């Protein structure tokens, strides 16, 4: 029950963030900024800092990638598969979802994927994204196939 409540709240945040990102991509960062102030900026801090520095094409790329991640997460919420690991089907701990709302696998499976070398490279890790990690590449066919 608490878990469902958390997911409902997260969904609201994601919807707001999706709208903010859409506007940001259209060149309007005001909503994104106010949203980050409201939520304490725990999700998108780093991105916001970068946004304040400059609106670069790279940022737009990150934003559109996040936007796509949000769409996937919202779709999974609609279908009821949100928060379930795509690989072992366990419930992804809320702490992980809070830190990484777009996670589609649990930590164990993600690690296993990474260590097997063939990892899809999926990561919502902001520091990595913004550090210039061109290695972050979301494969949506993989996400949808689950
Ligand atoms: Zn798993």
Please check the confidence at residue 144 and state whether its pLDDT lies above 50: no
Model confidence band, residue 13 (pLDDT cutoffs 50, 70, 90): very high
Residue 63: the pLDDT is: 87
Q: What is the Å distance from ligand 1's center to 52 Cα?
A: 37
Model confidence band, residue 58 (pLDDT cutoffs 50, 70, 90): confident
> In this structure, what CATH number is given to the domain that contains residue 28?
1.20.120.910
Q: What is the Å distance from ligand 1's center to 32 Cα?
A: 32
What mean pLDDT is predicted for residues 57-80?
A: 89
**Domain of 68?**
2-145
CB atoms within 10 A of CB 68: 15
Rounded distance, CA 65 to CA 69, Å?
6
Q: What is the Å distance from ligand 1's center to 73 Cα?
A: 17
Q: What is the Å distance from ligand 1's center to 92 Cα?
A: 7
pLDDT for 96-134, tens place per residue? 999 999 999 999 999 999 998 654 444 444 444 444 444
Residue 14: the pLDDT is: 94
Q: Say how many domains are in the chain.
A: 1
Q: How far is CA 131 from CA 28, 59, 62, 79, 127, in A?
A: 23, 11, 11, 33, 6
Residue 139: the pLDDT is: 46
């Amino acid at each position: 029950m608490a878990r469902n409540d958390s997911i409902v709240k997260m969904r609201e945040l994601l919807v707001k963030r999706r709208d903010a990102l859409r506007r940001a991509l259209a060149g309007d960062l005001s909503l994104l900024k106010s949203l980050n102030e409201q939520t304490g900026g725990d999700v998108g801090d780093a991105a916001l800092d970068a946004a304040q520095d400059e609106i670069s094409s790279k940022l737009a790329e990150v934003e559109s990638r996040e936007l796509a991640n949000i769409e996937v997460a919202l779709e999974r919420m609609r279908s009821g598969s949100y928060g379930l690991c795509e690989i072992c089907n366990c419930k992804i701990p809320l702490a992980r979802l809070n830190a990484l709302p777009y996670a589609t696998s649990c930590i164990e499976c993600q690690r296993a994927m990474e260590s097997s070398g063939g990892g899809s490279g999926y990561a919502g890790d902001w520091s990595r994204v913004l550090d210039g990690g061109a290695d972050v590449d979301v494969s949506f066919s993989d996400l949808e196939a689950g």
